[in-house]
Chains A and B, each alone.
Chain A
Amino acid sequence: MAVKLEARDIRLEYYQPRTDTRLVALDGVNLTVMDGEFVSIVGPSGCGKTTFLSVVDGLIAATNGRVMVNGRVVSRPGPDRAVVFQDASLLPWRTVERNVVYGLECLGIADAEAKARARKFIDMVGLSGFEHHYPHELSGGMQQRVNLARALVMDPEVLLMDEPFAALDAQTREGMQEELLRIWLQAKKTVLFITHQIDEAIYLSDRVVVFSGRPGRVKEIIEVGMERPRRLTVKREARFHAIEDRIWGLIEEDLKSRIAGDRPPDTPRD
């Protein structure tokens, strides 16, 4: 299997003019994601996991280190990566279809072709018949499906997902997790998925990366090693709980040492 995405020695510092200090948000983050792999990053809030995703997307420039997709260094957003945003961030003045074609429009792809491509992915996320609905006419789960279709239609090398199900209620979230795995198997994409929900990370992923906070760095990488396709019932199995406990332990350790270290809580939101 080939390496699809590689982040090497990512360091990110923010200058804070008010206190005249430099805040280290990410410190020496290394991560490799193989072609077709599903990798999640979990960690306490404020650990810099979303910031890391923004660096990978190229929205934030790293102070040091580099991000490579297929061995090519990337430093700004490009069509080889597409983000599924945390709050669906659909453009409210565009219908479902117009939202899904947005990225293609930005690339200057002809309208007819863009629409044809959009149709396929609107269908894949199960929203056929809703093409001409506006976002406010959709439920939260449906909005996230549009968000996903908008990224998938770009046919990116890597799909970057930033806590896409965080705002959904528990049942919808579980449904969406199952949906996502189905779509992932169908679309055969490499996925980097950010979440603070440990069970979500385990259920979805081949590997789970545990971040520790302030500054954000990789604490440990855990191989999930459960067969696919997975059903939601896997979450109730003993081996699942074992992995969950282990990750919980790592995060707890981190939180305890942070409280003991008594660092100021002025880290930017992750």
Chain B
Amino acid sequence: MATAEIELDAGASAHPSTLARFYREHERSIIGGGTLLAVLLIWEGVARSGLVDPLFLSSPIQIVKAGIDLFEGGEIWTHIQVSGSEFLLGYALSVAIGIPLGLATGWYRRLSYLLGPFIDALNAVPRLTLMPIIVIWFGIGIWSKAVVAFLGAVLPILIATNSGVRTSEARYLQVARSFSASELKIFTSIILPGTVPFIFTGLKYGIGRALLGVVVGELYAATAGLGYMIGEAGDTFQTSVVFFGVLIFTATGLVSVGVLDALERRFETWRPKAGAAS
């Protein structure tokens, strides 16, 4: 009996209908995309019904229209260029400093004693409280925003890298020592590969923090940039423009994290595919 049932079951799953198979293969996109579409439709419907003042809510179509107007007006290119430079400068700097410093403080105990208090303090302070000083030091041009973005992103990258080094698995270190590996060899063959996933976690988290730095910095003091544009639009009740600005930031964040994900997958071919619970 039992065998017959198992065979029956196997037969059923071997030839599912085309539609069912399509659904199973794309379940994630269908559920995710469907929900997103539903929210947009409800939003548009509510806005059109006149239940809520469009000044508060805008609507998906109006946001798209505002976007088209902005690009036709041409001024938005300047904002994108300014915000983009600030983001890229700040993020690049935080990667260039965060990863090496994270590796070094994880590896050299005394260096972590030396820098620990500063890192902890900087991590504890809400970085935005430093905004006035940063503006005094770096002006209201792109550098002050790049610095805020840097301060936001460098700590997650540094701390994640540091803990990656410190949680290196003892048994791999023991293997290396047993084979008389040099300190340099231990670092490159055991520590570094084990830290890569941690670095990527920090890098992805850093993206959001750098974007946050750019927006808030521009809201606080700037003469151009998408944050500045959002602030201006908010002051003049151009809800659609505000939403469009938010959309650009969201898209930038998603794309950046997507690029990092793809990069991580290339680094991590050795890792078992896991965590895909259905």
Contacts and interface: CB of A to CB of B under 8 A. Distances in A.
A181 B248 CA distance: 66
B182 interface: yes
Interface in A61-92: 76-79, 82-83, 85, 87, 89, 91-92
A92 B181 contact: no
B182 A106 contact: yes
Given A134-B270, A136-B272, A91 B193 contact: yes
Nearest to B175: A89
Contacts of B17: none
A140 interface: no
A83 B171 CA distance: 12
A59 B178 contact: yes
Contacts of B185: 105-106
Contact of A59 (B174, B181, B193): B174
B167 interface: no
B179 interface: yes
A38 B17 CA distance: 61
Given A91-B189, A106-B185, A78 B180 contact: yes
A107 interface: yes
Interface size class of B (residues with CB under 8 A): 20 to 34
B190 interface: yes
Interface string B52-68: 00000000000000000
Interface in B180-217: 180-182, 185, 189-190, 193-194
Contacts of B193: 91, 93
B180 A107 contact: yes
B177 interface: yes
Nearest to B192: A93
A57 interface: yes
A91 B179 CA distance: 13
A105 B190 CA distance: 13
B172 interface: yes
Contacts of B270: 92-95, 134-136
B38 to A, nearest CB: 39
A52 interface: no
Nearest to A58: B178
A77 B180 contact: yes
A106 B174 contact: no
A106 B179 contact: yes
* Chain A interface mostly: loop
B176 interface: yes
B175 A92 contact: no
A87 B171 CA distance: 9
B172 A91 contact: yes
Contact of A102 (B179, B269, B272): B179
Most buried by B among A91, A95, A135: A91
A28 interface: no
B24 interface: no
A106 B176 contact: yes
B15 interface: no
B266 interface: no
B121 to A, nearest CB: 30
A141 interface: no
Nearest to A94: B270
Contacts of B171: 85, 87, 89
B180 A91 contact: no
Contacts of B271: 92, 136
B190 A57 contact: no
Nearest to B269: A134
Contacts of B177: 59, 77
A79 B189 contact: no
Contacts of B175: 83, 85, 89, 91, 102
A91 B174 CA distance: 11
B58 to A, nearest CB: 49
Interface in B73-101: none
Given A87-B171, A94-B270, A136-B272, A103 B190 contact: no
A227 B31 CA distance: 68
Contacts of A78: 180
Interface in A83-140: 83, 85, 87, 89, 91-95, 102-103, 105-107, 134-136
Interface of A: 57, 59, 76-79, 82-83, 85, 87, 89, 91-95, 102-103, 105-107, 134-136, 154
17 contacts: A57-B178, A76-B180, A79-B180, A85-B175, A91-B189, A91-B190, A92-B271, A93-B193, A93-B194, A93-B270, A94-B270, A95-B270, A102-B189, A106-B181, A106-B182, A106-B185, A134-B270
Given A85-B174, A89-B175, A93-B270, 11 more contacts: A57-B178, A59-B178, A77-B180, A89-B171, A89-B172, A94-B270, A105-B185, A105-B189, A107-B180, A134-B269, A136-B270
- Across the A-B interface, the 4 shortest Cβ-Cβ residue pairs: A136-B272, A103-B179, A93-B193, A106-B181
